[in-house]
Amino acid sequence: MKATDSKGDLNLEILRHSASHIMAQAVKRLFPKAKLGIGPAIKNGFYYDFGIDGTVLSQNLDRVQKEMRKIIKEDLPIEKEVLTKEKATKVFRQREEPYKVQLLEEIEDETVTVYRQGEFVDLCRGPHLESTGKLRFFRLTSVAGAYWRGKEGNPMLTRIYGTSFYTEKELEDYLGKIEEAKRRDHRKLGRELDLFSISSELGAGLVIYHPKGALLRDIIENFEKEEHLKRGYQLVMSPHISRAALWKTSGHLDFYRKNMYLFSSGDEEWVIKPMNCPAHILIYKSKVRSYRDLPLRYFELGTVYRREESGVLRGLLRLRGFTQDDAHIFCIPSQLVEEVGKVLQFAIFMMDTFDLGYHMTLSTRPAEFIGSPDHWERATQALKDALREEGLDFQMAQGEGAFYGPKIDIQMEDVLGRLWQGPTIQVDFNLPERFDLRYVAPNGERKRVVMVHRVVLGTIERFLGILIEHVGGAFPLWLSPVQVRILTVTEKENSFAENLHQQMVNKGVRSEMDLRNELLGFKVRQAELDKIPYMLIIGQKEAQKGTVTARKRNGDNLRDIKPEDFIQTVTEAVKEKRIEI
């Protein structure tokens, strides 16, 4: 199969897969004892895993790129061969490639394919470019560690990431985005803005919020609570541990045990909760429910804990302890489509509020599931109907639903065009059956209720990480932990500044002062680095006139403003949740 243009994901995948082989050939030329792992094309490029000291490759990335260019200039034909499994195993044993031999041992087919380019041979299904000379525009981007086959406990390999495109412009545009993404990395900004930290002393995958980060999170959570209450949700709370028997009934112990923290106390087994749904179910079951009571919407900012491999942890984006804006809706079947539609509207409102794009996916029944196929069909159809009634475009993801029900996944799109996991909506006929959840119908008959699981931002920590990167740490005024910093020119203005600061605090404006005996330019630069939306500069003239000079984060100045007018401007902008200041 040829790949001769930049149109189509398949052609780009072939280009990048071939690039990974050329990179592996270059590494083997430079470091013959390096052992080959695997090297696929991925969404934005390619990688290859090697059994070699990571420091060696990190220090020699430029040499690998240079060697790749030599291989490209040689224009080596990339040739496919079909070998018996036995023959291929012999080839890779002779070449001392244990990871390839292990892969072959797991293949059930009698024959396999290998690809050759010059002296380099790799086990691969293909397809590839016709020759190494077809690759022109590429860049190696980073080096990282990765467990063999992604499993902790396996040997740690060294992974080189790279990317390639058909045109130089496409490559340069992408590399520009990579550099911008590095500048916006939430882990870097989290340190610089003093928002949060993750300490090995506390444990991997657990976050500590510093004062400004805790305040930012509190602002978002309070906003969420207000919006939920407006939409008829009721706030609930549940404990962090519960008896394991509860999770046996729910099915989690059978389908989700590897991700759960369990411990024994006395003669009983206990679970540190990975989800909030069983507790909400128990609230529903606490008394008899009538059809007149439905729908019931329970909302909890519930902190949960899940066992995650250390290799997948990534700042706020993947943790072991995190909080979900979790809600469960209990309704009768005839209310289901309307309730899902309302959740879709709510989720879109949240995306719009934070200036994020979104993409919808409907995920269907997986290979392992609970409940009857009929329930799954009814639940899937309800989700489809709600999406269509809301006029929303969506894609299908066959077999990617949760074990207890199909779901709508809403991916959030940030300013760099990256997609992130966000809101989800799941329809569940199965847990109501397992827990025998019923309501009294108009005729007095006790009928089964339907359950909707949903989050409208998702994991609070992940959302904060996405938001930090989306805005580059420059939070909109209504979200900024510090909205105004007062800067004095000399100590003579301190009294006026302190009085102004107190006025703003009394009006709910998040203000702080910089009264240090430093040059004004130094103070301004520090406020810019801290990404403060407004700086109020107080000099002798302002103190005498009782006015302020307001400097916006973007460099614009508003001179000779009365303090009360400035406070009104800020409070109105916060109330309207304007994206720009």
Where in the sequence numbering do the catalytic residues fall? 277, 306, 324, 326, 328, 407, 453
Q: Please tell me the distance from the alpha carbon of residue 463 to that of residue 125, in angstroms, as a whole number.
A: 38
Distance of CA 49 to the CA centre of its chain: 24
Between CA 166 and CA 164 the distance in angstroms is: 7
Give me 314's structure tokens.
């990534």
Q: What angle do CA 166, 170, 172 make, to 5 degrees?
A: 120
Please calculate the CA angle 357-360-366 and round it to the nearest 5 degrees.
145
547 CB neighbour count, 10 Å cutoff:
17
Rounded Cα–Cα distance for residues 256 and 277 (Å) = 14
3-state helix, strand, coil in the chain (%, to 5): 40, 30, 30
Strand 321-331 and strand 296-305: the pairing is: antiparallel
Rounded CA-CA distance 453/274 in Å is 14
Locus of tokens 């995190």: 322
Beta bridge partners of 454: 327, 425
Position of tokens 């932990």?
481
CA–CA separation, 51 vs 376, rounded Å?
Answer: 45
Q: Which of 150, 419, 420, 421 is nearest to 308 (CA)?
A: 150
Cβ atoms within 10 Å, residue 426: 23
Burial of 38 (0-12, 13-18, 19+ CB in 10 A): buried
